[in-house]
Amino acid sequence: MKRKTALSSFIPMIALAGLVWYSATKNTAMPVKPDADNAGLKLPAGFGALKAADTTGKARHIAVTASGDVYVKLGRNKGGKGIVFLHDADGDGKLETKKAFGNYGGTGIYIKDGYLYTSSDSEVFRYKLNEKQEVINPDAPEKLVTGLINRNQHETKSLVLDNEGNLYVNIGAYSNSCQIKDRQKGSMGQKGCPILDSAGGIWQFKANKLNQTYKDGVRYATGLRNVVGLDWNQQNNQLFVMQHGRDQLNYMFPDLYTEKESAIYPAECMYALKKGDNAGWPYIYYNQDLHKKILAPEYGGDAKKEGDAKFIDPAAAFPGHLAPNGLLFYTGSMFPAKYKNGAFIAFHGSWNRAPEPQAGFFVVFQPFKDGKPYGEYEVFADGFSGSPEKTASGRVDHKPCGLAQGPDGSLYITDDLKGTVYRVVYNK
């Protein structure tokens, strides 16, 4: 999808005077005010933001309980713990650390049917919650899935659950484009790409069965290089994911791609998945300007030849190398009606846009209509980087990563660089 606004132009920020905001905690009317500077963020008119928590650690994905408490999964352990539980004790919107637990880093975290589901880079766990949705026994999680491949490249295991007791786990490809010699100039692709047997896709497991391995799971969808952001669309009852596109077209095949083409292609793609779908990695990539699936150079492509039509088309396509790490379908009622059932996407920013300026480090909104992306996307929250100069250099202050919706409809955004947890609210 084309974006509505240029990277440098945004809807003006609101004046904060006279507006009242409310805590996500139930049964309280304590006003919650955005930070005076909107936590440094640029937002559409009518929205405000506050730093709900700071320096939690390398904050990856996030889950919010029905009472407004927050669980944050840390990519790396802080003080030996990889999960932080946050609570707003006085209703001012600021979260205090109540406890930390879990001796493993990772990305995935999700609340469903009385359990907190979490992941390391090779396993999936769950914790039973009490009536307050607090973990009952933080030192003894149930191990649901074990033995998932982790080769220290695209190793994160993002997860989500459907409404029928199934668990979906991303297993990223430990490769850029399945070359015989990974990331080596001119190396061609492996025939049949054996990586796809155990990675490069979404696997489905049971949400209530212990000690599952690959043999217990189902390769639900394949041909996905790496998915970090994913969510279950309740309107469609369908899994949606955001893929990180491949790198280094110019470096690997300089006769076929200019440096600029390598910086802007391929698209970062949103896919709506059904069981058995194949998105085509490593054999194709998606060119967002041509609106075509292009045969990868490692498999005989010349930057123009189209790939096999059997591979599914993306539901939406975004500029290359922005690194989408969070996806959330908004179902709340706090925000204006246009946001209902649309998708927020957190773009983490990438290293692979040189010699073009780096980009990303923002949260965008993609409108939906009748369960499908509709119209142009727009930048919703920017300013995480600190300045345009920091954005261009990639040496930024914050990097958006995880997204979650509070019980009042507010939007939570994590930062995995310095550990800030932002909360975005709207004045009704």
Per-residue pLDDT of the chain (428 residues; tens, 9 = 90+): 544 443 333 333 333 333 333 344 443 445 578 999 999 999 999 999 999 999 889 999 999 999 999 999 999 998 899 999 999 998 899 998 889 999 999 999 999 999 999 999 999 999 999 999 999 999 999 999 999 999 989 999 999 999 999 999 999 999 999 999 999 999 999 999 999 999 999 999 999 999 999 999 999 999 999 999 999 999 999 999 999 999 999 999 999 999 999 999 999 999 999 999 999 999 999 999 999 999 999 999 999 999 999 999 999 999 999 999 999 999 999 999 999 999 999 999 987 888 899 999 999 999 999 999 999 999 999 999 999 999 999 999 999 999 999 999 999 999 999 999 999 999 86
Which phi and psi angles does 363 have, rounded to 5°?
-115, 130
- Number of Cβ atoms within 10 Å of the Cβ of 267: 23
Residues near 408 by beta carbon (within 8 Å), at least 6 away in sequence: 22, 23, 24, 68, 332, 334, 425
Structural domains of the chain sorted by starting position, each given as residue range(s) with its CATH number in brackets: 38-426 (2.120.10.30)
Residue with tokens 């077209």: 249
Residue type, 29: A
What pTM was estimated for this model as a whole?
0.93
- Number of Cβ atoms within 10 Å of the Cβ of 1: 20
Q: What's the CA gap between 391 and 307, in Å, rounded?
A: 34
- Assigned token pair, 359: 């980009």
Instruction: Please tell me whether the peptide bond between 407 and the residue prior to it is cis, using omega within 30 degrees of 0.
Output: no
* Dihedral angle over CA of 193, 283, 204, 233, nearest 10: 170
Q: Which among 28, 32, 30, 50 is positioned nearest to 40, based on CA atoms?
A: 50
CA angle 292, 293, 299 (to 5 degrees): 145
Residue type, 126: R
